[in-house]
Amino acid sequence: MAQIRVSDLTFSYEGSADTVLENVNFNIDTNWKLGMIGRNGKGKTTLLRLLMGDLEYNGSITSSTRFDYFPYEVSKEDLSKTADELIETWKPQVESWQVMVQMNQIQMDSEVLYRPFGTLSHGERTRVMLAVLFAGENEFLLIDEPTNHLDKRARDIVKNYLNSKKGFILVSHDRDLLDGVCDHVLVLNRGTIEVQAGNFSSWWENKEKADAFAVAENEKHLKEIGKLRAAADRSSRWADKNENTKIGFDPIKENDRSISTRSFIGAKTKKMQSRVKNYEKRVDREIEEKEGLLQDIEKVKDLKLCPMDFHKEVLVNAKELSIRYADSDRSLFEPKTFQVKRGQRVVLSGDNGSGKSSIIKAVLGLSGAEGAKAIVDNMAISGTLEVASGLVISYASQDTSFLHGTLKDFCKERNLDESLFLAILRQLDFGRQQFVKNMEEFSEGQKKKVVIAASLITPAHLYIWDEPLNYIDVFSQMQIEKLILDYKPTMLVVEHDVRFQESIATEVVEISQ
């Protein structure tokens, strides 16, 4: 067992006014299963790249172990190569047989290594890369969001595989994965960084208690500061009033006073002024003790939604529905029957490639949504798929590649209320400095928040979201869950996150290939 020591680590990207990490200090052991938690844009991926030595920084990172990083880079040319060929590029010190041992542990047939990498699904690519990653020895592994775009079955396989390993940092927003795998957490808080034993749930329970204590202490200090300031002000006014009586007096009204009384008044005033200074010192001490109490508080603000009420009970009706594309003679899934009724939140669940997104596109196309009709024209739909006439749909795509330019440009293109849109992004923890950047500079999580925010401010009868939680931090996930439970919109959702399904779904429809 060795240690990794990070001391006074400071980093900012060249040309950027933002400091990503500042004076960061922590120690971790190389045999831990460490989960990294933090808001989008807090620097989680940047920290992994710093550990890898990919970026220049101030401060020090001390370790006697080697690092390796997931996911490996894959170029367009690499897509035509087999995974077996790519091993030489990714991890030249390991041999194919070592990878095959790991392939067996991650429930994959070794023949996958000899297929063109471009023909593999997201889940297959992830599992192959993880098998290569763990095939080495004496390394500390840096794993960046391995379950994005993976279906529930693949997520469970990856979770069980990682749980059998040790010696890694796992960056993930999948609460189920963090709970099932990690024995320690590294948390990038708003103002500090902490390392704690346990998993996500144990850390979150401790955080809620710590936040409640910090808020109570803050309130106590605020009350004490208020009392001290009131007392200081009162004493100061008394001192001023007393001092003003030193010069001049009415011998008739104040017949017991003489010139010699002046020194007594001066001494009394001095004593009052000294009391004021003591009050001020105590105020400063209370403010110092209060300082930093709330710096790590995660204020999960309530979001708002404007769902429209539809006059019909059934918005989408699917009976013995099956879909195939025009260039294929095979249906995507077994015939399926389900309905989306007013007030329901229907989650489509199933393996990657089973046709969940195709169902969504078919619904969009039949509703007359812009750009979706061409997709439906390329589909052969068997059975019944009916979409209520006049239905207004708000759609959040899983794809963010279309985002370009500034947020202002985006609002103009989509005819969105800019001030409302930016307000929603602020509630989703966007910094104001992000508002002037091009969206190409955003993290993947920030791009997803743009798509979600655009959907949230669009009044609709039906909200269709395709894998909305990919890359989105756990705090924003909980905000979105609370929003849905508070406003109860009618929804059709594709999402593999187990916690999200359990929290918001009124019905889960399993789609089988």
Distance of CA 208 to the CA centre of its chain: 17
Kindly report the pTM of this predicted structure.
0.74
Angle between helices 474-487 and 444-456 (to 10 degrees): 10
Q: Give the Cα separation of 63 and 80 in Å (integer).
A: 37
Which tokens belong to 7?
A: 């001391």
The residues with which 170 forms a beta bridge, in sequence order, are 35, 143
Closest CA to 282 of 205, 348, 226, 199: 226
Q: Give the Cα separation of 375 and 309 in Å (integer).
A: 28
Strands 507-511 and 345-350, bridge-based pairing: parallel
Question: Looking at residue 3, what is its pLDDT?
Answer: 93
Question: Looking at residue 1, what is its pLDDT?
Answer: 66
Put the strands of the sheet holding 139-144 in their side by side order: 66-70, 139-144, 168-171, 33-38, 184-188, 193-197
The residues with which 171 forms a beta bridge, in sequence order, are 36, 144
Which tokens belong to 113?
A: 């290594």
Asked if 462 and 312 count as a contact pair (C-beta separation under 8 A), the reply is no
Neighbours of 266 (CB within 10 A): 13
> pLDDT tens, position by position, for the chain (513 residues)?
689 999 999 998 887 767 889 899 999 999 999 999 998 888 899 999 999 999 999 999 999 999 999 999 999 999 999 999 999 999 999 999 999 999 999 999 999 999 999 998 888 999 999 999 999 988 999 999 999 888 888 999 999 999 999 999 999 999 999 999 999 999 998 778 999 999 999 999 998 888 887 777 777 777 776 776 776 677 677 666 666 555 555 555 555 555 556 566 666 667 767 776 776 777 666 666 665 555 555 665 678 888 899 999 999 999 999 998 877 778 888 999 999 999 999 999 988 888 898 899 899 988 877 666 666 777 888 899 999 999 999 999 888 989 999 999 999 998 999 999 998 898 888 888 889 889 998 888 899 999 999 999 999 999 999 998 888 988 889 889 998 999 999 999 999 888 999 999 999 999 987
